[in-house]
Structure 1
Amino acid sequence: MNQGETMQEDPLLRRPEAAAYLGTTTGSLAQLAYQGNGPKYYKPSPRRVYYRKSDLDAWINSNAYVSTAESV
Structure 2
Amino acid sequence: MRRKTTTPTAATTIEELWTIEDVAAFLRVPVATLYRWRTMHTGPAAYRVGRHLRYDPATVRAWLTETAAA
Structure 1 or 2, whichever has the larger Rg, is 2
Corresponding residue to 1:62 among 30, 43, 66: 66
Whole-Å separation in 1 of the counterparts to 2:16 and 2:45: 14
Deviations 1:13-68 (A, max 9, x none): 110111001111110001001110000100021x2001111111011011114xxx
The residue that corresponds to 1:35 in the other structure is 40
TM-score scaled to structure 1, two decimals? 0.75
Aligned-residue CA RMSD (Å): 1.3
What is the SS of the residue equivalent to 2:18? strand
- The structure in which a higher percent of residues are strand is 1
Q: Count how many residue pairs are aligned between Structure 1 and Structure 2.
A: 60
TM-score scaled to structure 2, two decimals? 0.77
- The structure in which a higher percent of residues are helix is 1
Identical counterparts, % of pairs: 22
Whole-Å separation in 2 of the counterparts to 1:61 and 1:50: 19
Give the 4+ runs in structure 1 shifted more than 3 A: none
- Structure 2 residues not aligned, in runs of 5+: 1-10
